[in-house]
Amino acid sequence: QVQLVESGGGVVQPGRSLRLSCAASGFIFSNYALHWVRQAPGKGLEWVAVISYDGSNKYFADSVKGRFTVSRDSSKNTLFLQMNSLRPDDTAVYYCARDGYTYAYDYWGQGTLVTVSS
């Protein structure tokens, strides 16, 4: 069955960096675009970034552009989100989600919490 499992969250000071991972299984990883979506505590969903199935195209929300990068390793079936210059308003649960060919996210991970605080 399709599984997406995020890891790498934690507490980090403002201005520092963190790398999130999303381990995928149960499907052909290299066939699907993957997104990062976050949710601040008690708030709604916010799209963060997307990487195409082959890694050739990447897009970012304005709120993270220039600070976050996204990559994927097909040999490890893993998606990454490198977060630099973290700010308190980056505090959120970060989800990875699969683009299911239906113009929607058909599978989501369970999320990993990132807390940016001094």
Instruction: Provide the token pair at 115.
Output: 């807390």
Residue 73 within binding range of another protein, rule CB under 8 A: no
Rounded distance between C-alpha atoms, residue 101 and residue 24, angstroms: 17
Residue 33 within binding range of another protein, rule CB under 8 A: no
**Of positions 5, 47, 78, 91, contacts another protein by CB under 8 A:** 47
Residue 27 within binding range of another protein, rule CB under 8 A: no
**Of positions 56, 62, 66, 118, contacts another protein by CB under 8 A:** 62
**Of positions 7, 85, 110, 117, contacts another protein by CB under 8 A:** 110
**Of positions 1, 75, 103, 118, contacts another protein by CB under 8 A:** 103
Nearest to 115 by CA among 96, 95, 89: 89
Q: What DSSP string runs through 55-116?
A: SS-EEE-TTTTTTEEEEEETTTTEEEEEE-S--GGG-EEEEEEEE-SSSSEEEE---EEEEE
Q: Are 49 and 37 in contact (CB under 8 A)?
A: no
**Of positions 8, 9, 55, 100, contacts another protein by CB under 8 A:** 100
Chain contacts with another protein (rule: CB under 8 A): 35, 44-47, 50, 59, 61-62, 95, 100, 102-106, 108-111
